[in-house]
Structure 1
Amino acid sequence: MGYYIQAEQGVHLFVEDVGSGVPVLFIHGWPLNHLMWEYQVTQLPKYGYRCIQVDLRGYGKSDRPWSGYGYDRMADDIRAVVDALGLTNARLVGFSMGGAIAIRYMSRHNGHGMSRLILAAAAAPSFTMQPDYPYGMSREAVDSLIAGLYANRPQTLDDFGNLFFASNITESFRSWFNALGLSSDARATIAGAEALRDEDLRPDLPRIQTPTYIFHGVMDRVCLFPLALEMHKGIRGSTLVPFQHSGHGLFYDELELFNRSLLTALKE
Structure 2
Amino acid sequence: MNFNTVSDGTQIFFKDWGKGKPVVFSHGWPVNADCWDPQMLFLLQRGYRIIAHDRRGHGRSSQPSEGHNMDTYADDLAALLDKLDVKDATLIGHSTGGGEVTRYVGRHGTRRVSKVVLIGAVVPLMAQTADNPNGVPMAVYDGIRKNTAQHRSDFLKQLAVPVYGFNRPYAKVSQGLIDSLWAAAMMGAINAEYECIKALSETDFAEDLKKFDVPTLFIQGDDDQIVPLELSSMVASKLVKNSTLKVYPGAPHGLPQTMPDEVNAEILNFLET
> TM-score, normalised to structure 1's length?
0.96
Which deviates more, 65-74 or 247-256? 247-256
Unpaired runs of at least 5, structure 2? 166-170
Q: Deviations over 1:204-237 (max 9, x none)?
A: 1111111110011111000111111101111112
SS in 2 for 1:240: strand
Which deviates more, 76-85 or 133-142? 133-142
Aligned position for 1:187: 191
Q: Deviations over 1:34-57 (max 9, x none)?
A: 000111112111211111011110
1:134: how far off? 3.6
Report the Cα distance in structure 1 between the residues aligned to 2:85 and 2:79, rounded to whole angstroms.
10
Aligned position for 1:4: 3
SS in 2 for 1:62: coil
Residues 59-208 of structure 1: matches in 2 within 5 Å? 59-166=58-165, 167-208=171-212
Report the Cα distance in structure 2 between the residues aligned to 1:63 and 1:47, rounded to whole angstroms.
32
Q: Deviations over 1:103-162 (max 9, x none)?
A: 000111012311000001101111212223244421111011101111111122222212
Aligned position for 1:20: 19
Runs of 4+ more than 4 Å apart:
none
Contact 1:11 1:63 in 2 (8 A): yes
Q: Which amino acid aligns with 1:69?
A: H
Aligned residues: 267
Report the Cα distance in structure 2 between the residues aligned to 1:260 and 1:157, rounded to whole angstroms.
29
Report the Cα distance in structure 2 between the residues aligned to 1:168 and 1:193, rounded to whole angstroms.
29
Aligned position for 1:240: 245
Q: Deviations over 1:239-262 (max 9, x none)?
A: 001111311001022221100001
> TM-score, normalised to structure 2's length?
0.94
Q: Deviations over 1:68-118 (max 9, x none)?
A: 011011100000001000000011000100000100001110123110000
Report the Cα distance in structure 2 between the residues aligned to 1:237 and 1:23, rounded to whole angstroms.
21
Identity %: 28
Report the Cα distance in structure 2 between the residues aligned to 1:155 and 1:195, rounded to whole angstroms.
23
Contact 1:243 1:254 in 2 (8 A): no
Unpaired runs of at least 5, structure 1? none
Report the Cα distance in structure 2 between the residues aligned to 1:6 and 1:88, rounded to whole angstroms.
20
Contact 1:209 1:236 in 2 (8 A): yes
Q: Which amino acid aligns with 1:256?
A: D
Aligned position for 2:257: 252
Q: CA RMSD in A?
A: 1.2
